[in-house]
């Protein structure tokens, strides 16, 4: 006769029924579907501010029959630039406004009552930032050979700064000394890095000549330069005439660009 297994005399305890459809707080959990997860992810992307390093959906631009490849590439870069979208949303005329905003936050350039000169000011983004910071007690003047809409609170000359007589006209418009001279001037690029670097350093040196003529003691000078090795003479002059000379590359400057800024603080010149 086959051996029969002995039945266990120990009674098994029945576990209380648990409604697994509810959370610990007694609420029904939200169902997770591919659609809901995608919607949440999309909302988080939309809530992120431009320029915080968050990757967004890329916009592709189709080539057009009469559009050059370089133009298509520029358009694609503009459409995918978070600072371009942010400038449009916040009322600035260009993404360059955020370069000055960041430089000001780092070096405390703009204060209430500051007298500012903006060289190469079109389309007016830096003038907008300066006017907002210096207030009615300050003064903002600019110059550019490109036409631009007026900026309330700023006086702008439509002239080429490099033409003879333009610096004198700008000084008359300023009506006194300056506390800050900004130069975002840039010569048309040739594609040859060494040549482009020499050209922009020449512009920076011309801007420095003007700055040393109009700056008050302890004034500041900011100029665009390109990364390279041909700025030795410019740096020598800056270190001789200012107490502090720094380089900075704002986040709003495109990472693939050689553009950066030299910031000189504490002008040692005599009172004008």
pLDDT of residue 48: 47
Angle at 36 between CA 34 and CA 41, to 5 degrees: 95
User: Residue 93's closest CA among 141, 52, 152?
Assistant: 152
Q: Across the chain, what does the average pLDDT equal?
A: 79
Give the total residue count for the chain: 272
**Active-site residues: which are they?**
224
**Cβ neighbours of residue 43 closer than 8 Å, sequence gap 6 or more:** none
Dist CA 202 CA 198 (whole Å): 6
Residue 129 has pLDDT above 60, yes or no: yes
Stronger pLDDT, 227 or 70, i.e. the higher one: 227
Extract the runs of DSSP E, i.e. beta strands, from 90-164. 115-119, 139-143, 154-157
Highest mean pLDDT among 33-37, 66-70, 87-91, 251-255: 251-255
Q: H or E element: which one contains 102?
A: helix 97-107
Q: What domains, with CATH codes, occur in the chain?
A: 95-267 (3.40.50.150)
pTM of the model: 0.70
Q: pLDDT grade, residue 228 (50/70/90)?
A: low
DSSP string over 18-79: --TTS-TTSPPPPP--HHHHHHHHHHHHHHSPTTSS---PPPP----TTS-HHHHHHHHHHH
pLDDT of residue 186: 84
Cis, bond preceding 23 (omega within 30 deg of 0): no
Residue 59 has pLDDT above 70, yes or no: no
Residue 163 DSSP one-character state: S
Residue 95 has pLDDT above 80, yes or no: yes
Stronger pLDDT, 220 or 8, i.e. the higher one: 220
SS3 210: helix
Listing from the earlier edge strand, what are the strands of the sheet with 139-143? Answer: 154-157, 139-143, 115-119, 178-183, 215-226, 259-267, 242-248
């Amino acid at each position: 006769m086959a051996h029969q297994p002995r039945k266990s005399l120990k009674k098994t305890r029945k576990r209380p029924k648990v409604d697994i459809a509810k959370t610990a707080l007694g609420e029904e959990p939200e169902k997770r579907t591919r659609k809901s997860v995608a919607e949440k992810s999309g909302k988080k992307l939309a809530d992120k501010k431009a320029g915080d390093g968050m990757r967004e959906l890329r916009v592709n631009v189709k080539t057009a029959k009469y559009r050059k490849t370089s133009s298509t590439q520029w358009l694609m870069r503009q459409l995918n630039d978070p600072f371009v979208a942010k400038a449009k949303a916040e009322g600035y005329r260009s993404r360059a406004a955020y370069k000055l905003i960041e430089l000001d936050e780092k070096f405390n350039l703009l204060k209430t009552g500051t007298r500012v000169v903006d060289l190469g000011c079109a389309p007016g983004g830096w003038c907008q930032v300066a006017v907002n910071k210096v207030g009615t007690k300050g003064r903002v003047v600019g110059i550019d050979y490109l036409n631009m809409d007026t900026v309330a609170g700023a006086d702008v000359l439509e002239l080429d700064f490099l033409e003879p007589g333009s610096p004198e006209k700008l000084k008359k418009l300023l009506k006194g000394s300056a506390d800050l001279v900004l130069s975002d001037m840039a010569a048309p690029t040739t594609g040859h890095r060494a040549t482009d670097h020499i050209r922009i350093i020449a512009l920076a040196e011309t801007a420095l000549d003007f700055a040393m003529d109009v700056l008050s003691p302890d004034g500041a000078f900011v100029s665009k330069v390109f990364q390279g090795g041909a700025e030795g003479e410019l740096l020598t002059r800056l270190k001789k005439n200012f107490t502090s000379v720094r380089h900075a590359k704002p986040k709003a400057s495109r990472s693939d660009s050689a553009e950066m800024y030299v910031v000189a603080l504490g002008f040692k010149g005599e009172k004008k």
